[in-house]
A and B are shown apart, each in its own frame.
Chain A
Amino acid sequence: MITVERLTKRYGPFTAVDDVSFEAKAGLVTGFLGPNGAGKTTAMRIMSGLTPATSGTATVLGKPYAALPNPGRHVGLLLDASAQHAGRTGREVLTLGAILMGVGRQRVDEMIDLVGLTDKEANRRVRNYSLGMRQRLGIAHALLGDPEVLILDEPANGLDPAGIRWMRDLLRGYANEGGTVLLSSHLLNEIERVADEIVVIGHGKIVAQGTKDELLAGAGTFTRSTDDAALMAALAAESIVAQRTATGGLQVDAEPIAVGRIAVAHQIVLTELRGGDSRGLEEMFLDLTADAAREEVAA
Chain B
Amino acid sequence: MTTAPTTTSTTPAGAATPVVLSKSAESALPTVAAVPSRIDGPRPTTGVPFARLIHVELRKMLDTRAGRWLLIGIGAVIAVALTIMFFNEGGQHAFGEYLQATTMPMALILPVVGILAVTSEWSQRTGLVTFGLEPRRARVGWAKTVAALLVGVAAFATSLVLAGIAHQGAVTFRGITPDWTMDGLVLLGAGGYVLLGIAQGLGFGMLLKNTPAAIVLFYILPTAWSILGSMVSWLRDAAVWLDMNQTMQPLFEGSLTGEQWAHLGTSVAVWVILPLTVGMWRLTRSEVK
Residues of A within 8 A of B (CB): 45, 48-52, 65-66, 68-74, 77, 79-80, 82-88, 92-93, 96-97, 99-103, 107, 110-111, 113-118, 121, 125, 130, 132-133, 136, 141, 143, 145-146, 148, 160, 162-163, 165-170, 172-174, 176-177, 189, 192-195, 212-213, 216, 277-279
Contact = CB atoms under 8 A, between A and B. Distances in A.
Interface stretch (B40-48, B218-226, B273-281): B40-48
A163 B29 contact: yes
A60 to B, nearest CB: 11
Nearest to B11: A172
6 contacts: A45-B287, A77-B129, A79-B132, A162-B21, A165-B19, A216-B5
Contact of B129 (A73, A97, A99, A195): A97
Nearest to A143: B36
Nearest to B65: A87
A130 B26 CA distance: 9
A58 to B, nearest CB: 13
Interface of B: 1, 3, 5-6, 8-9, 12-15, 19, 21-22, 24, 26-30, 32-39, 43-48, 52-53, 55-56, 59-60, 63-66, 120, 124-129, 131-136, 287-289
B48 A160 contact: no
Nearest to B37: A110
A87 B64 contact: yes
Contacts of A79: 128, 132
Contacts of A165: 19, 21
A78 to B, nearest CB: 9
Q: Is the interface of B mostly helix, strand, loop or mixed?
A: loop
A213 B126 CA distance: 38
Nearest to A213: B6
B111 to A, nearest CB: 20
B37 A71 contact: no
B39 A84 contact: no
Contacts of B6: 192, 212-213, 216
A166 B26 CA distance: 15
Given A71-B133, A114-B34, A172-B12, 17 more contacts: A70-B44, A70-B46, A84-B129, A87-B66, A93-B129, A96-B63, A97-B129, A118-B27, A146-B38, A162-B22, A165-B19, A170-B13, A174-B36, A192-B9, A193-B8, A212-B6, A279-B1
